[in-house]
Amino acid sequence: MSERGTPDKGAGRLNILTPEGVELRFELADPGARAAAFLLDALLMLIIVVVLSLLGALASAGGDGWSSAVFFLFFFLVRQFYFAFFELRWHGQTPGKRSQGLRVVEARGGALRPESILARNLTRDLEVFLPLTLLLAPEAIFSGVTGGARFAAAVWALLFAFLPTLNGQRMRVGDFVAGTRVVRAPKAVLLDDLGAAQPSRASAGPSTDVAAGPADASATASFTAEQLGHYGIFELQTLEDLLRTPDVHAPETFDEVARKIRRRIGATTVAGESSLAFLRRFYAAQRAHLEQRAVMGERIEDKGAARGRRRRG
């Protein structure tokens, strides 16, 4: 299945077709929310730098000549890897992004890859820190800096700052390089009871096959560990996004996704069970399986990691 990320016809929208054939719809983050998230992250970085400065000053007072070098090394690491560290651990979020309900996603529909996160954040020096240094403390880079150089640095910083407002998908340079987008990810209640939830006939429509009925009692049927070993956290989250908004998607979407999952895991079709009922049942079993693996210290990020685990097994 090909992967693609395309803007919706409405402004500020992004449609992503995942490798599983599920179309996810996102609202692109507005520049104001991104700016607020960055300012909060910058404040946290400043706090870290101040703490390190105090530690460096205390170490220097003790006569350790190498302590300053250690401090500058940590200052460099904080500046370079603060964003990448959090986005890797928090699945595309930093403290600032989390406070604003934002996260980074792959525009091609796959799991957010470490190389993409590193690529989008390594450009931040070019976009933010270098022009700000030239503007506020140019002597730290060049001696005898003129007013013209300061003006050029200001234009440079403003150009990159307003770049997300100049393109339809609100991308900064790092997003262009890494193929990522920043989208709104509003806080939502986890679907703990999704497997047991019953869709209403009104939401499903009179002519669809996703309406709940007596056949949904088959949701108590179980899947084998081998069947549940084909997918990881990313695919589970994709399925959750699909099941959270059943009214948005056509019945054919649920039929196609259910067909692909059944074919991949080798599950048989239960007589009278709707596609939506099957997906809810599979979601509940898959989530329980992945949580059990996590308790045992094995975090399965996506189907690639699941495939590697099956080979090792």
Instruction: Give the per-residue pLDDT at 55.
Output: 75
Helix (H, G, I), strand (E, B) or coil at 17: strand
Cα(174)–Cα(279) distance, rounded to whole angstroms?
36
Select from 34, 8, 5, 29 the least CA-distant residue to 17: 5
Across the range 100-112, mean pLDDT stands at 84
Contacts of 94-97 spanning 24+ positions with Cβ under 8 A: 94/37, 94/41, 95/40, 95/41, 95/44, 96/36, 96/37, 96/38, 96/39, 96/40, 96/41, 96/44, 97/37, 97/41, 97/182
Instruction: Give the per-residue pLDDT at 39.
Output: 93
Instruction: Give the per-residue pLDDT at 82.
Output: 92
Cα(206)–Cα(294) distance, rounded to whole angstroms?
41
Centre a 10 Å sphere on the Cβ of residue 206 and count the other Cβ atoms it contains. Answer: 7
Instruction: Give the per-residue pLDDT at 64.
Output: 53
Across the range 248-254, mean pLDDT stands at 80
Instruction: Give the per-residue pLDDT at 60.
Output: 63
Across the range 204-214, mean pLDDT stands at 34
Tell me the per-residue pLDDT of 255-304, one tens digit each, with 9 for 90 and over.
888 888 988 888 888 888 888 888 988 988 888 888 877 766 677 776 77
Compute, in degrees rounded to 10, the torsion defined by CA atoms 188, 194, 197, 202.
Answer: 60
Q: Mean pLDDT across the chain, nearest whole number? A: 74
Share of the chain above pLDDT 90, in %: 11
Contacts of 59-66 spanning 24+ positions with Cβ under 8 A: none
DSSP letters of 233-286? Answer: HHHHHHHHHHHH-TTTS-HHHHHHHHHHHHHHHTPPPPTT--HHHHHHHHHHHH
**Taking 80 as the threshold, does the pLDDT of residue 183 lie above it?**
yes
Query: Is pTM, for the whole model, over 0.85?
Result: no
Q: Identify any residues that bridge with 17 across adjacent strands, giving them in sequence order.
A: 4, 23
Instruction: Give the per-residue pLDDT at 198.
Output: 42
Tell me the per-residue pLDDT of 38-66, one tens digit each, with 9 for 90 and over.
999 999 998 987 887 777 667 666 555 56
Cα(135)–Cα(132) distance, rounded to whole angstroms?
5
Cα(207)–Cα(118) distance, rounded to whole angstroms?
48
Please say whether the beta carbons of 26 and 13 come within 8 A.
yes
Instruction: Give the per-residue pLDDT at 86.
Output: 92
Please say whether the beta carbons of 107 and 88 come within 8 A.
no
Q: Tell which wins on pLDDT, 245 or 263.
A: 263
Cα(240)–Cα(286) distance, rounded to whole angstroms?
11
Across the range 229-240, mean pLDDT stands at 83
H/E element holding 151?
helix 147-161
Cα(26)–Cα(182) distance, rounded to whole angstroms?
9
Residues constituting the chain: 313
Most confident of 11-15, 163-167, 254-258, 299-303: 254-258
**Taking 80 as the threshold, does the pLDDT of residue 138 lie above it?**
no
